[in-house]
Amino acid sequence: MDYNNQRNVFYSRPQMSQPQPPYMNTNGRFSYNTLPVINPMFDHQMMSDQMMSDRVSMSSCGWGDVAGRNEMCMWEPKREARKEVCGEVKSEMKCAPRCVPKCEPKYVPKCEPKCVPKCEPKCIPKCEPKCVPKCEPKCVPKCEPKCEVKSGVKSEIEIAPVCETKCETKCETKCETKCDKAVEMGSNISPATMMGCDDMPIAMAYVPWQKWGPTYPIDLGLKRGTIFPNLDLPFEMGRCR
Amino acid sequence: MMYDCEGVSMNMTEEAMRKQVYETGFALDDIILYLDTHPMDMNAMNYYRFMRQANEEAVRAYEQMFGPLMADSVMGDTWSWLDNPWPWEGGKR
């Protein structure tokens, strides 16, 4: 038998008169109510190994694969019926373990490590607390009685010394060191807090759109730094008040 | 140097013409900035056209009298860019 012809014979799907739902036989195989017509020239003995492997690959395409069973089933004519030349031949379903195609390992794309920019740690300036010594003179009066004995007079009665309380104000300069708020590294103190603006209302600003208007003469424009009089505003240096 | 017996008045003329170049050039720069944010303003566009022409005329008049202001505005057969004094030699442009 010509191999190619055989291939053709083999690969042609079995011609079923009417596809019927399969049901399970008592031996656990699947069968059909109406048996299909199979080419009687078909002979499994003629199949080469190559053809067998082809058959397996063919079965992997799905024909004869019964849902729910891990087997590949196909119709095979009974031995007695092989000699019949034509006509409807009874056949039985033979099942072979289903060919599970070898799975190529899934291609997992090699992921290049994402380039994460190295972030330099934010440089938060370390603010030393500003300390200014506040010095005020503190004066405390120191009073001591000073007694004088009036000399020159001698009597039997001893004259009591005349005492006067004399006070001297003694002053000492006492200094207290007052420190401003310092921002420690990593603390959550916002610049607004630093500047003491927490109690101030949030600003809303409106910037008017410049409109065309009269322009300066070019010599004045060069002097003023703009040809637009409405942009000729004084520049005041200093902080906002 | 194009000084002659009337060097002083010539110098004054050079200064006045250079000033004209500066003034028209500045006005041109300023109107360009305005047009960047007001591209549809026809008044500004007219001003730009007028000032561009004024600047070109001022530059042309100055260069005809006193030589090129920029190296790429040298016209003629010789390299006149080197004729005038450099800033460190007292040149003012």
Provide the residue ranges of all domains of chain A, joining segments of one domain with +. Answer: 3-97, 131-179, 207-234
Q: Which of A212, A216, A218, A220 to mutate to test the interface with B (most CBs of B within 10 A)?
A: A218
CA dist B42 and B35 (Å) reads 10
Q: What is the pLDDT of residue A106?
A: 57
The count of other CB atoms within 10 Å of the CB of residue A6 is 17
Q: How high is the ipTM of this complex?
A: 0.81
Return the higher-pLDDT residue of A176 and A23: A176
Q: What is the pLDDT of residue A93?
A: 56
Nearest partner of B93 among B30, B26, B4, B17, judged by Cα:
B17
CA dist A85 and A87 (Å) reads 7
**Nearest by CB to B43, which of A212, A219, A222?**
A212
**Set of chain A residues whose Cβ sits within 8 Å of the Cβ of B38:** 210, 212
Please list, in sequence order, all residues whose beta carbon lies within 8 angstroms of the beta carbon of residue A78, skipping any fewer than 6 positions away: A89, A90, A91, A92
Looking at the complex, report in whole angstroms how far the Cα of residue B20 sits from the nearest Cα belonging to chain A: 8
Across-strand partners of A144? A166
Interchain CB contact of A222 with B (< 8 Å): yes
Confidence of residue A202 (pLDDT cuts 50, 70, 90): confident
- For A19-61, how does the pLDDT look when each residue is reduced to its tens digit (9 = 90+)? 444 444 444 444 444 344 444 444 444 444 444 444 433 333 3
User: Does residue A239 surpass a pLDDT of 90?
Assistant: no
Token representation of residue A179? 């420190």
Helix (H) or strand (E) holding A185: none
Q: Which of the residue ranges A141-150, A155-164, A207-216, B20-29 would you say has the lowest mean pLDDT?
A: A155-164
Token representation of residue A62? 């799905």
Q: What is the pLDDT of residue A203?
A: 83
Q: Which of the residue ranges A40-49, A158-167, A172-181, B38-47 would you say has the lowest mean pLDDT?
A: A40-49
What are the Cα distances from residue A49, in Å, to A6, A7, A44, A71, A77?
13, 12, 11, 20, 20
pTM of the model: 0.38
Q: What is the pLDDT of residue A193?
A: 74
Mean residue pLDDT of chain A comes to 59
Record: contact B23-A228, CB cut-off 8 A: no
Q: Letter for the amino acid at B8?
A: V
Record: contact A227-B43, CB cut-off 8 A: no
H-assigned helices in chain B: 7-37, 42-66
Residue A145 has, within 13 A of its CA and on its CB side, a CA count of 7
**Nearest by CB to B41, which of A212, A221, A226?**
A212
Contacts 24+ apart (CB under 8 A), A172-176: A172/A137, A172/A138, A172/A139, A172/A140, A173/A135, A173/A136, A173/A137, A173/A138, A174/A135, A174/A136, A174/A137, A174/A138, A175/A133, A175/A134, A175/A135, A175/A136, A176/A133, A176/A134, A176/A135, A176/A136
Residue range A136-153: average pLDDT? 68
> What residue ranges do the domains of chain B occupy?
14-69
User: Does residue A223 surpass a pLDDT of 90?
Assistant: yes
Q: Report DSSP state, residue A200.
A: S
